[in-house]
Structure 1
Amino acid sequence: MKEKYVIDAGPLSLFFAGRKDVKEFFEEMYNDNAIIYMNEINLAEFIYNYISKVGKDTAIARHRFIRNSPINIVSPDENITEIAAILKSKYSFLSLADAYLIATAKKIGGRVITTDEDIEKTKEVEYIKISLDYK
């Protein structure tokens, strides 16, 4: 059975920065051993953060790359939105984007790949925490 991952904006930025520990998940996907999902809200988060770091043209080019890759982009439906709203009301520290990230993982039965400690605090889903301090 293929691994299912739901990727957050942070690890996606690290992938484009060349981080080998994140690249491994994408290699799994390209080798047909895993499926990577990303929610539209988290994709928007990636784009606006990337614009502030490297500029609009590069961010839009990366966005097009993502859309043309095997990453499964998930549009929030009624169920995901309801789960995200409940999570956000339960955990005041959680951003709305992170609530959608967790809700997407719950719906597809996947593990979250994140740099965010707030995901861990909820104990709602399995996750893989990518350190920002890479050695």
Structure 2
Amino acid sequence: MKEKYVIDAGPLSLFFAGKKDVKKFFEEMYNNNVIIYMNEVNLAEFIYNYISKVGKDIAIARHRYIRNSPIRIISPNENITETAAILKSKYSYLSLADAYLIATAKKIGGKVITTDEDIEKTKEIEYIKISLD
């Protein structure tokens, strides 16, 4: 069975910046060894953050790249939304996007790839923390 990962907005930005710690997951995905998922909420977070860093045109081009890649984009459904809401109420420090990230990982039975320390604090799922350095 292939390893499943749910990628957060931060590591996705680092992938486009060429960070090797993230690139290896994408190489494994393109070699059909792992599956990478992303939730629509976290994808929106990536796009708006990327617009503020590099501009709308580049952000939209990256968005199109993601949509045409093997990344499996998951739309929030009733189960994911309910789980995200419960997580957000349980951990007030979590952003709503992070609650959706964790809920998606729980739904697919995968590990989160993140730069966010708040994910670690919940102890709700397995995760891989990517350094911003």
> Shorter chain as normaliser: what TM range?
over 0.9
State the distance in 1 between where 2:104 and 2:74 align. 8
Other-structure match for 1:88: 88
Structure-1 residue corresponding to 2:46: 46
Question: Partners in 1 of 2:91 and 2:63 — Cα distance?
Answer: 30
TM-score (norm 1): 0.98
Quick one: distance in 1 between partners of 2:30 and 2:2?
12
Q: Which runs of 5+ in 2 are unaligned?
A: none
CA distance in 1, matches of 2:85, 2:54: 32
Report the secondary structure of 1:5's partner residue.
Answer: strand
TM-score normalised over the length of structure 2:
1.00
Corresponding residue SS for 1:35: strand
Q: Which amino acid aligns with 1:63?
A: H
Percent identity between the two aligned chains: 89
Residue 4 of structure 1 aligns to a residue whose secondary structure is strand
* Corresponding position of 1:34: 34
* Cα offset, 1:92, TM superposition: 0.3
* Regions of 4+ moved over 2 Å: none
In structure 1, distance between residues paired with 2:125 and 2:14: 22
SS in 2 for 1:11: helix
- Structure 2 CA distance for aligned equivalents of residues 129 and 97 of structure 1: 17
Partner of 2:100: 100
Distance 1:8 1:117 in 2: 12
Shift of the alpha carbon at 1:41?
0.2
Aligned residues: 133
User: How far apart in 1 are the matches of 2:25 and 2:57?
Assistant: 26
Structure 1 unaligned segments of length 5 or more: list them.
none
1:62-114 residue CA offsets vs partner (Å, 9 max, x unmatched): 00000000000000000000000000000000000000000000000000000
Partner of 1:131: 131
Alignment-mate amino acid for residue 61 of structure 1:
A
- Taking the aligned partners of 1:32 and 1:2, their CA distance within structure 2 comes to 9
Which residue number in structure 1 is paired with residue 110 of structure 2? Answer: 110
